[in-house]
Structure 1
Amino acid sequence: MTDVTDNLVVAAARLNSVELQPWWLQRGVEPLLLCNVHRGTGEFLCVSEADPSPLEPGIWLIPAHSYQIDPPVLKAGVAALINRDNNGWEIVPDHRGATVYTTDTGEPRQWLALGDLPEGYTLQAPSTEFDTWEGEQWVPDEAAIAEAARVVAYRKQALATQYSTERIGTLQDAVDLEMASEAEVAALTAWKVYRVELSRMDITAKVPTADDWPISPNDEALAAWLTSQLT
């Protein structure tokens, strides 16, 4: 009888223990799942469990900006917003963090808003600083590219002329003072020829290619000096 009595006592204790547990911890009670959204945008954030009402068995507390609906099915590049009736979701593009470009200037900026990009912005990056937006794509502005190349060529021509003039001046001094070696006399003539050839380049007609430029008496020294001035 002792064993039977002990079993009855244990069973009664277990029954009392269950009855004394809060209602939301009792067997068979499942917590209410809620979808939480951003208070400002209505964007789906996460799923959480509702808090139970301690004094009202079976009642779950639903805080603001939380809804008892199924969570959205999301994929990369989209977000879900609670709809106007608070009973479903509106799927919208999510470009936040992406680099977008203004179609008038090509200037980049980081995008921070949800939804489609407004007119005047694109995710396409221009290929060059001379691209212009036409329709739905960037198109190189060939005239602008040619003009920029001409500006660089004018600058190179002017600097090369300046360098050759400086070399001619020093070598001419040596000749005038009868201090020039045969090599210096030859160099003076070569730099003068080079300067004349530079002056005859017509950059207004076309952008010169590498082969169009005359060869200087010291291309290595000239190239190093031009690099220092053009960068």
Structure 2
Amino acid sequence: MEDETVHPVQWWEHAEIIPPVVCNVSPVTREFVSSSVADPSPLEPGVWLIPAHSYLTKPPELIPGYAAVALPDGSDWSHIVDLRGSTVYCTETGEPQTWEALGELPGGLTLQAPESAFDTWQDDRWVLDRPAHTAALQRTASKKKHLLNQYATAPIDTLLDAVEMKIAQESELAALKAWKVYRVELSRVDTTSSTPATTGWPVSPDETAMLAWLTAQGFEASD
């Protein structure tokens, strides 16, 4: 026989009872996390259980780029700039870092990325430090010129040995001339002007081998 026991209706099960909505916040930042329905207190009619870090208040308006943070008494919300996860840059060094805090950025940090390693922070923007940039270009060009000259001198010395010993072949004489012409053209490359050469370098008799040698020496165009 089926159990026909009638269970009493709990106070919160009456149709006219509407459970309140609670807003759950982060215990660290007090920012809005979610909303849920409060649980009833079984032994206290009319009493709703409010979880820790939750408030009986209406959910906040969610605004992109802002976090809704509960006021100390939980009665309302304030909207605070939320840049967490953004890459920010130190205005002293240009070094990037990931921002992990709520609120506006403090002084010394910016969302603007420098366009080069030679930018400096002036008047709330990055400005190219032209003297530093030019000096770096000069160093790079001078280093490249020195390495290329060093590379060209090796075959020239070897081919001159063949000429001196009167055993040079026609192909070697042609190669010697080509390398000498290249070295002269290389010597004419200006690496000391305010805009040192970054293009227009002479082509060597063996460009592929020369470029591979530059790489082997650890030379990078950005050096």
Instruction: Give TM-score scaled by structure 1 length.
Output: 0.83
Q: 1:208 aligns with which of 178, 189, 197?
A: 197
Q: Deviations over 1:11-62 (max 9, x none)?
A: xx9xx65xx1211112111111111111121111111111211111111122
CA distance in 2, matches of 1:21, 1:180: 113
C-alpha displacement of 1:205: 2.6
Tell me which moved more, 175-184 or 70-79: 175-184
Q: 1:153 aligns with which of 126, 133, 141?
A: 141
Pairing 1:191–2:190 present: no
CA distance in 2, matches of 1:209, 1:190: 23
The amino acid that maps onto 2:163 is: V
Pairing 1:107–2:95 present: yes
CA distance in 1, matches of 2:61, 2:135: 52
- Report the secondary structure of 2:35's partner residue: strand
Q: Deviations over 1:180-216 (max 9, x none)?
A: 11231232233234334434544223402423x3443
C-alpha displacement of 1:90: 1.1
Match of 1:7 in 2: none
Larger Rg: 1
The amino acid that maps onto 1:147 is: A
Match of 1:78 in 2: 66
Tell me which moved more, 131-140 or 213-222: 213-222
Alignment of 1:26-41 (within 5 A): 26-41=14-29
Pairing 1:136–2:121 present: no
C-alpha displacement of 1:130: 1.6
Q: Determine if contact 2:87/2:98 at 8 Å carries over to the other structure.
A: yes
CA distance in 2, matches of 1:59, 1:201: 88
Q: 1:150 to 1:60 in 2, by over 3 A?
A: same
- Give the alignment's Cα RMSD to 1 decimal: 2.2
C-alpha displacement of 1:148: 1.6
Unpaired runs of at least 5, structure 2: none
Match of 1:89 in 2: 77
Q: 2:107 aligns with which of 114, 119, 129?
A: 119
C-alpha displacement of 1:112: 0.9
The amino acid that maps onto 1:112 is: E
CA distance in 2, matches of 1:88, 1:40: 17
Tell me which moved more, 125-134 or 113-122: 125-134
Match of 1:182 in 2: 170
The amino acid that maps onto 2:81 is: P
CA distance in 2, matches of 1:162, 1:215: 15
Structure in which a larger fraction of residues adopt helix: 1
CA distance in 1, matches of 2:70, 2:120: 38
Q: 1:167 aligns with which of 155, 170, 179?
A: 155
C-alpha displacement of 1:220: 4.4
Task: Specify which structure has the bigger relative contact order, considering alpha-carbon pairs within 8 angstroms and separated by 6 or more residues.
Answer: 2
CA distance in 2, matches of 1:105, 1:220: 38
CA distance in 1, matches of 2:158, 2:180: 12
